[in-house]
Structure 1
C-alpha cells in the first residue's frame, strides 16, 4: 500500500487522469477510438529525440559557453533566460527547465557575490513556458491542438509571434531589475560535445517536425526513428516518459466520453459561445487543472481555435499548477536550495500573475 501511495503522490497528474478515465468509461463507454493515435505517436517520437539531445547535453553545453561571454550578473541571467526561451521552442519547456535551472542554481550556490538569486530562477522557468508556445511541437497542448484543428503553420506562427514578442519585451524589462555587477570568470565543465550525435538527432528532429507538419507519415517515420535510436543508443528508449503518454490516452478517454454526454455538451457549448469567452475560460481553467488538461477538455466544444490555443499558452502563467514546467521548477528548487522554497513561491506568484495580467489583457484585444 505504501508503494502505491508513493506512486500516486509522485505521479499525481497520471493518477488523477487514470481515475477519471475509469469513471468516465463506466458512466459512458470504453473505446480506443477516442484516442488520437497520431498525436500519441508524434509525441512519443518527439520525446525520444528530445531525450537524445538531453543525454548529449546540448542545452548544458550552450549554457556553459554563455558563461564565457557574461561579464555581469545581469548579462548572465539575460543570456540564460534567452537560452531558456529559445531552447524551449525546440526541446520543450520541461527539458529547458530541467537542464538550465540546475546550472543556474549551482552558480547561485557556489558564487558568494552572485546577484540575481531566486528571481533569476523564476525568470528561467517563465521563459521556458513562454518560449515553448511558439512552435506547434514546443509543448503538448500545442501539438495536440495543432493536429486537432489542422491550423496552417503560417497562421499558427503568426498568432504566436505576438505572444513571443510580448514575452521577450517583458522578460527583458524584468531582467533590468538584476544588479549589473561584475562576475568572476568561470571555467566550463564541458568544452566539447558529440558533434556526430548532435547531427544525427538534428536530422531525426527534422523528420519529426515534418511529421508534425503532415509531410511525412507518422507511423513509418516513428518506426524508423525507433530503429535508428535502438542501433545508436537503445537505453534512450527507457528514458521516454511513458506515463505522460498514458496520461494523454486517459485524457482522450475522458474527453471522448464527455463529448458524447448531451447535457454536458450543451452546457459547455453555451459557455464557449464566443472567442473572448473561450480565451478567458482557457486561462482560468489552466490555473486549476493545468493547461494541457484544459486544452483536452475544451477542444471538442469550440471552433474558436485561435482563442483556445492562445488561452492555454498564456494560461501557463499564473499558479504553480498552471504548467507542469512550473512544478518541475519548484522540485528543482527543493533539491538544490531547500531553504528558498517559500521565497521562490512568493516571487514566482508575483511575477507570473503580473505577466498573466499584462500579457493576457494585451492578447485579449487581438482575439476574434
Structure 2
C-alpha cells in the first residue's frame, strides 16, 4: 500500500513541479520545518477523508439523481447543477464539487446533445465562488482561518457579502444559458442511510469546531479515521496524498522565498495598504494560483480581509488562478476532448469579465 501511494505521489505533475522548485531553492535558502502549518494539513486530511465517506455512502449521487428526475429543459439542468456546485462546494470543497458534477453534466449533455463549454464553465465558477463562503470550502480558507486565528463570526461577516454577490452573478449567468426542451429518462432512486448523513454532518461540524479551536484537532481526526475504516478501510488509501505533499512543499517554498531579501522588499512594497494587498493577491493568484498566493502574502501582511477577498476573487481569471480551474479542464479533457478549445475560450472570457467586475464592486462598493 505504501509503495503504491508513493508511486502515485511521485507521478503527480504538480508534485514534480513544486519538488523541482524546492530543490532549486535549496541552493539559495535552507528550509525550515516550522514553516509547515501542521494543523492546516490535518484539517485538509480530515476533509478529504470525510469526502471519501460522502462518495462511498452515495450521498452526492442521491442528490444528483433527485435533480435529474425533476427537470424538463437544459437551463433547468444547468441551474440545478450550478446550485449543487455552489452550495456543495461550501461543504465538500470546490475540487470535489467539480470532480463530481462536471463529469455528471457532460454525461447528461452528450445524452441530450446539449452545449458543454458554457455550462461547465458555470459549474466551475459556482464552485469557486461558493467555496469561498465557508472556512472549509477550499484550502486557502482553511489556511487563512488557521493562520490568522479568525473567529467564525468574523469570517462570515466577510464571506456573506461574497455569498450575496455570487448568488446574483450565478442567477444571471444561468439565465443566459440557452433553453432546450428535453425528455429525461427517470433515474432509479438511490438509497442512502439516514445514519450516514448524520455521521457525515457530525464529522463536518467537528472539523469546523477544531478549525476554530473549540476542540482539539485530534478529536475529529480519530473519529474520521475510525468511521472511514468502519465504512470501507480502502478509503484511507484513496485520498489524494499528492495534494497534502504539495501543501507541505508550498509551506516550505513560500517560507524560503519569503526569507529572500529581494522578494521580501518587493512584496512589502506591493502590500502597503489593504487595497494594494487585495490587488496584489489577485495578480499573484493569476500566475501561481490562489492557494500558494495566500500562503505567501500572509507571511507579510496582517490584514485578513484584503487577502481573503484577493485570493477568493483571484480564483477567477486564468486557468491556473485556481487548482479547481485546472481540475475542470482536466475533466473536460477526459470526458469531452473535442470541447477543450471551446471550453478554454468561453471559460477564460467569462472569468476575465467576472474578475474585472468583482474588482470594481469590491473597490467601489464594499
Matches within 5 A, 1:285-300: 285-300=284-299
Matches within 5 A, 1:158-307: 158-307=157-306
Given that residues 258 and 296 in structure 2 are in contact (C-alpha distance below 8 angstroms), is that contact kept between their aligned partners in structure 1? Answer: no
- Which segment drifts farther, 343-352 or 223-232? 223-232
1:76 to 2:77 alignment? yes
Does the alignment pair 1:331 with 2:339? no
Partner of 2:342: 343
* Cross-structure match for 2:68: 67
Equivalent pairs counted in the alignment come to: 360
Structure 2 distance, partners of 1:343, 1:50, is 31
TM-score by length of 2: 0.93
Name the CA shift for 1:117/1:261 in 2 (closer, same or farther; >3 Å): closer
Partner of 2:127: 128
2: CA distance between counterparts of 1:236 and 1:118?
32
CA change 1:280–1:55 in 2 (3 A) is same
Aligned mates of 1:270, 1:227 — CA distance in 2: 48
Q: Does structure 2 retain, via aligned residues, the 8 Å contact 1:136–1:143?
A: yes
Offset of 1:147 from its aligned partner?
0.8
Shift of 1:40: 1.0
Which segments of structure 1 move beyond 4 Å, counting only runs of 4 or more? Answer: 6-10
Range with bigger deviation, 181-190 or 274-283: 181-190
| Structure 2 contact 31–253 (Cα < 8 Å) conserved | no
**Which residue matches 2:3?**
none
| 1:47 aligned partner | 48
Q: TM-score, normalising length from structure 1?
A: 0.92
Distance in 2 between residues matched to 1:30 and 1:12, nearest whole Å: 22
Give the distance between the partners of 1:343 and 1:142, measured in 2 at CA.
Answer: 31
User: Which has the larger displacement, 207-216 or 18-27?
Assistant: 18-27
Alignment of 1:144-159 (within 5 A): 144-159=143-158
| 1:101-136 Cα deviation digits (max 9, x unpaired) | 111111110114x4x432111111110111000011
Q: What is the CA-CA distance between 1:177 and the residue it aligns to?
A: 1.6
Name the CA distance, whole Å, in 1 between partners of 2:89 and 2:170: 15
CA shift for structure 1 position 8: 9.4
Give, in angstroms, the shift of residue 7 of structure 1: 7.6
In structure 2, C-alpha distance between the alignment counterparts of 1:86 and 1:171, rounded to whole Å: 12
In the alignment, does 2:125 pair up with 1:97? no
* Deviation of the 1:266 alpha carbon: 2.9
* Structure 2: segments with no counterpart, 5+ residues: 1-6
Aligned mates of 1:198, 1:220 — CA distance in 2: 19
Q: Which SS does the other structure have where 2:183 is aligned?
A: coil
The offset of 1:351, in angstroms, is: 0.9
CA distance in 1, matches of 2:277, 2:203: 36
- Relative distance call for 1:262 and 1:179 in structure 2 (3 A) is closer
Q: Which residue of 2 aligns with 1:3?
A: none
Question: By how many angstroms is 1:11 displaced?
Answer: 2.6
Distance 1:130 1:252, change over 3 A: same
Offset of 1:220 from its aligned partner? 4.2
Determine the C-alpha separation between the residues in 1 that align with 2:129 and 2:150. Answer: 20
Task: After superposition, give the CA deviation of every residue in 1:257-294 in whole Å (9 maximum; x if it has no partner).
Answer: 23333443233212211111111111111111111111
Distance in structure 1 (CA, Å) of the matches to 2:330 and 2:356: 26
Taking a change above 3 Å as real, the CA distance of residues 282 and 243 of structure 1, as seen in their structure-2 partners, is same
Q: Deviations over 1:138-167 (max 9, x none)?
A: 000010011111122112112111112111
Check the 8 A contact 2:57/2:196 in 1, yes or no.
yes
Distance 1:202 1:7 in 2: 30
Evaluate the alpha carbon distance shift between residue 124 and residue 170 of structure 1 in structure 2; reply closer, same or farther with a 3 A threshold. same
1:362 aligns with 2:361: yes
Distance 2:42 2:242 in 1: 14
Deviates more, 1:124-133 or 1:26-35: 26-35
User: Aligned equivalents of 2:68 and 2:152: distance in 1?
Assistant: 35
In structure 2, relative to structure 1, the CA distance for the partners of 1:14 and 1:364 (3 Å cut) is: farther
Task: Name the CA distance, whole Å, in 2 between partners of 1:280 and 1:197.
Answer: 43
Partners in 2 of 1:289 and 1:15 — Cα distance? 15
